[in-house]
Each structure stands twice: as C-alpha cells, then as structure tokens.
Homo-oligomer: A and B are copies of this chain.
Amino acid sequence: MITLTSDFGSPYPAAMKGVIRRHTDAELIDVAHDLPRGDPRAAAFWLRFVLPEFPPAVHCAVIDPGVGTDRDALVVRAGAHVLVAPDNGLAMPPARALAGDESDVEAWTVAVDDPASETFHGRDVFAPTAARIRVALDDELSASDGDPDADAVAETLAGMEDLAPASDPVDVSFPEPSVERDEGSGEGAADGAAGDGDVTAVDGEVLAIDRFGNVITNVPGELVRGRDWVRVNGDLTPVAETFGAVDPGERLVTVGSHGYAECDVNDGRGDGAFDLRPGDAVRFVPDSVSL
C-alpha cells in the first residue's frame, strides 16, 4: 500500500499515480490533496493524526514550498512504516507517532538525478521514490514470506543504493501550551496532573483549521473537559461534548478526536467567529462562575 498526501488539488496527484503504476500495482490510498498550501507544519499535524490508523505502509507526502531549491528528498522509516517527503520537517512528527519510540525512527536522503521539472517533484522525485521502495519492500516480503516488520523494512532501505543516511533532517515541533495554576505549581506542564493547583489560565496556539472552520488548538482536552464555561481570549464560551449542545450559530469549545480543545460553531465556522488563524495565540481561562 502507498498512501498519498499533498496540497496539489487536482489533477496533479493523478500524474503521481500514473508514475507509480509504471512501477507497481500496489494499492493507492489518498489521505488528502487539499492540505493547507505550502504548510509543512499543518501537514505534520494531520499526518500525525491520520497515519497511525494504517497498518504498515509507504506514505508519500508532498507539501513542498521549497520545490526547486536544494532541499533534500527524505525517506524516513518509522517502525515498519516508510515516509517519503521533502526534508522540511513534515515527516518527523508523524514518524514519531508511527514508531511509538523515537529510537525506531531512521532517516535517509535520496540521491536525485536531474528531475524533469523544477516545480513538480511530486511526480518527478517523490512518487517514483515511493514506488521503488514499495517494490523493494514487496520483493523482500515475498522472499521472506513473513509479515512486514521494522527489521525487514530497515534492512530493505539500508540496501537501496540511492539512499544515504540523513545527518540532520529538518524537524518541526508543536508548541506546548503554558499552564498557569493558582497555587503551588505556578506555570507547569500541560498534563494537569492531580495534586497541582487549579488551572487559572492556559496560553496555547492554533495548530490547524479543518474543513469546517473548526479551530484546533494545542491545548490538551483534559484541561477543558468537564468544565461548563471557559473564556477564549476573553469571551465566555460554553464547553460541550457535542455540537448539538448549543444552538445553531452558537460558539462552543469541544475536545476533538485528536484530543485537543477546539473552538467551534455549531453549524458554522469557528475560525470566523473566534477570529483565529493557524499560529495565533489563544488564551483559555476557566470561568470562576462555574469552578
């Protein structure tokens, strides 16, 4: 299986599929081709969320604002999964999520011959690389007659002549929110561990906006779950488990399926209502009335 992710819209991903089909009949599954344009961190966020649902696979992800520059093409092994992506950081957070253990992540750079275009390395570099790795893995797996495991994948990649160990792949990280407590712990970790003082404020950041305009923050869900109200950048907002708990058009804070607090509007767009964009600061203050 090869999964495909990009910000290309259509019909460009079909060109990648055609190229892959010249190498292998492996199944192709689209993750998304409408990710935020040229934003590796947003891609990392979504892939970290989605890819761990898959069994071991080759994942080709091309969000590539540096196409045509000298940024490397990267191959990352994460357990028995393989990511193929530009070296701009997008691959590392999902690789850590796929591997579970950071020690089970390895990165290589791909020796790239002069590609056919300056601007479409999805077709000219990443798709053929993903296809060749898929073929090599399938050859290895059919020879060993075994299930794919991390060792077999590592051995296969180590045997590919155009891969060289990556010395220092670009990484992106997601900021941790800053949590204020009213006694004892002061600013501290975001785990809200029992025994610390009550949370008086959380300063977080917007990680992503989804198709519905839901504003996904980096504030862990446990910091809002179970509360009735929270101030979001000063505005009193109900906390609810489901959209239907508020009237259509009304704002609410929920915990999304990724485990983070979201700023949403029932049957509307949270990004507009809360005036929030990716990277914006967002301060959550539990309202005293309800605490």
Contact = CB atoms under 8 A, between A and B. Distances in A.
Interface of A: 1, 3, 5, 8-12, 14-19, 21-22, 25, 27-35, 37-38, 46, 49-55, 57, 65-69, 116-120, 123-124, 210-212, 241-244, 254-257, 267
Given A31-B14, A46-B11, A51-B18, A257 B38 contact: no
Taking each of A34, A38, A257, which has the highest tally of chain B beta carbons within 10 Å of its own beta carbon?
A: A257
Given A119-B256, A242-B68, A54 B18 contact: yes
Contact of A243 (B22, B65, B254): B65
A63 to B, nearest CB: 12
A18 B119 CA distance: 30
A255 B28 CA distance: 29
A54 B120 CA distance: 16
B3 A14 contact: yes
B119 A9 contact: no
Contact of A49 (B15, B32, B118): B15
Number of copies: 3
A120 B53 CA distance: 13
Given A55-B22, A118-B255, A211 B9 contact: yes
Main secondary structure of the interface of A (DSSP, over half): loop
B30 A14 contact: yes
A118 B242 contact: yes
A46 B12 CA distance: 9
Taking each of A5, A21, A55, A65, which has the highest tally of chain B beta carbons within 10 Å of its own beta carbon?
A: A21
Contacts of A242: 66-69, 118-119
B244 A66 contact: yes
A227 to B, nearest CB: 15
Contacts of A116: 257
